[in-house]
Amino acid sequence: DLAVGTAVAGGGHHAEQDYADPFAYDVEYRERMAAEFSSLSPENQAKWEYIHPRRDFYNFYPMDAIVRFAEENRQVVRGHTLFWHSQNPEWLEQGDFTDEELRAILKEHIQTVVGRYAGRVQQWDVANEIVRDDGSGLRVGPTSEGGNIWITRLGEGIIADAFRWAHEADPRAKLFFNDYGVEGINAKSTYYYELVQDLKAQGVPVDGFAIQGHLSTQYGFPGDLQANLQRFDALGLETAVTELDVRMVLPENGIPTSAQQAQQADYYRRTLQACLAVEECNSFTIWGFTDKYSWVPVFFAAEGSATVMTDDYERKPAYYALQSTL
Ligand code: XIL
C-alpha cells in the first residue's frame, strides 16, 4: 500500500514569511492535509536547529503536534532528519567540542528524538544529503562549504553508527538515506548504490533509499528514474520519493502557461508511475501541496508554481495527473 504524503509547513523559510504558522493557524490548510494525504513529513520541525535549539534543550512541541495530528487522521509520519550538513544549530556548529563529545552529542540526539517517537514514525531520513553533487565522495570539508560536520570530524564510520543508534531507539522504524540529484542513474546515485551495499554487508540496519525529487521543467525528466529505484529495490531495500516538486521559470505575469502546466503534470505523473512500478517503493511525498507555502520562490529566484495547488488551493493539472494515476 503506497503512503501518499506531503511536507507540513512550519519553521525554515516559513518563519521568515509574513504569516502565522500555517499548521497551527490555517484551518483550510489543515483540513486539506487531513483529507488528501496518508503520510506527513515535518518540513523543518524535526531538524536539529528546530528540535534541538540549545545543547540541553529540546523543542518537541511542533513535531509532537504533527505526530498527534497524523494519528488523529490515520496518517503515518516520515521523520526528517537526523544527520545533515544544513540547518544545524549554532551551538553545535560554533561549539568547541572534542571528537568524543561530538560523538556523544549525536548519539544522545538520535536516541532522544527517535526514542520519543518510537512506534509512531514509519520511516526516518537518518542521513540526508551526505554525498557531493558530483558523486565524487562524501561531503567532507568545512561546514561553511557544505561539509557534513559529523563525517568531517568523526570519519565515515559515523554513518553506520547513526543508523545503529536509530535502530536501537526504534527497531520498527524504516531507516533511509535521502538525497537530491539521485533520481536517475548517475555518479551520485551510484555512490549510494555502492555505499548501501557496503553497509548492508557489515550488517548495518539500512532499510531504504529515498530520492527527494526537486525537479524543474527547465531540465529533462530523469527517464531512468524507475530503473534507478529498481536497482536499489533489487538490493532488498525499500525506496521512496520524499520531496517531490516541479518548479518552473515563471513568465512576467507570474502565471504559468498551459504548456508549462502540462509539462509539470507530466513530471508528477511519471514520478508517481515509476514509484508504483517498483515493488517496495512504499512512500510518495510531495514537498508541500499548495504554492502558498512552497519553499521554491524563496530559494530559486523567479521560479515558482512548483506544487499541485495554487495559493488559493485551486487544483492544477498536476493534481489531477496524480489523482488519476493512483
Ligand atoms: C527546505 C524547507 O522546505 C525550507 O522551509 C527550509 O528553509 C530549507 O529546507 N532538501 C531537504 C529539505 O532535505 O529539508 C529542504 O527543505 C529542501 C531540500
Give pLDDT, residue 178: 99
Cell of 172: 520498527
The DSSP symbol for 1 reads -
CB-ligand 1 contact for 44 (6 Å cutoff): yes
CB-ligand 1 contact for 294 (6 Å cutoff): no
pLDDT tens, residue by residue, 69-114: 999 999 999 999 999 999 999 999 999 999 999 999 999 999 999 9
Cell of 246: 516541479
Q: Is 35 exposed, middle or buried (0-12, 13-18, 19+ CB in 10 A)?
A: exposed
Strand partners, 266: none
Q: How far apart are CA 97 and CA 117, in angstroms?
A: 28
Cell of 301: 529566484
CB-ligand 1 contact for 43 (6 Å cutoff): yes
pLDDT tens, residue by residue, 203-246: 999 999 999 999 999 999 999 999 999 999 999 999 999 999 99
Which homologous superfamily is 3-325 in? Answer: Glycosidases (3.20.20.80)
The DSSP symbol for 193 reads H
For 14, the 3-state DSSP assignment is helix
Strand partners, 8: 42
Residue of 78, 177, 299 best suited for mutating to test ligand 1, as the one with most atoms within 8 Å of CB: 299
Cell of 42: 515535518
CB-ligand 1 contact for 288 (6 Å cutoff): no
Q: How far apart are CA 55 and CA 89, in angstroms?
A: 9
Average pLDDT, stretch 39-61?
A: 98
Give pLDDT, residue 184: 98
Position 18 pLDDT exceeds 90: no
* Mean of all residue pLDDT scores within the chain: 98
* pTM value > 0.90: yes
Position 151 pLDDT exceeds 90: yes
Q: How far apart are CA 288 and CA 85, in angstroms?
A: 22
How crowded is residue 314: how many other Cβ atoms within 10 Å of its Cβ? 10
Domain ranges (residues) in the chain = 3-325
CA 314 to chain centre: 25
Give pLDDT, residue 213: 98
Q: Residue 161 Cα, ligand 1 centroid: separation in angstroms?
A: 24
**What are the start-end ranges of the H helices in 221-283?**
225-233, 258-277
Q: How far apart are CA 136 and CA 267, in angstroms?
A: 28
pLDDT tens, residue by residue, 290-325: 999 999 999 999 999 999 999 999 999 999 999 999
Ligand 1, atom 4, lies closest to the CA of 12
Q: Residue 215 Cα, ligand 1 centroid: separation in angstroms?
A: 14
Average pLDDT, stretch 158-185?
A: 99
Give pLDDT, residue 277: 98
CB-ligand 1 contact for 295 (6 Å cutoff): yes
pLDDT tens, residue by residue, 240-293: 999 999 999 999 999 999 999 999 999 999 999 999 999 999 999 999 999 999
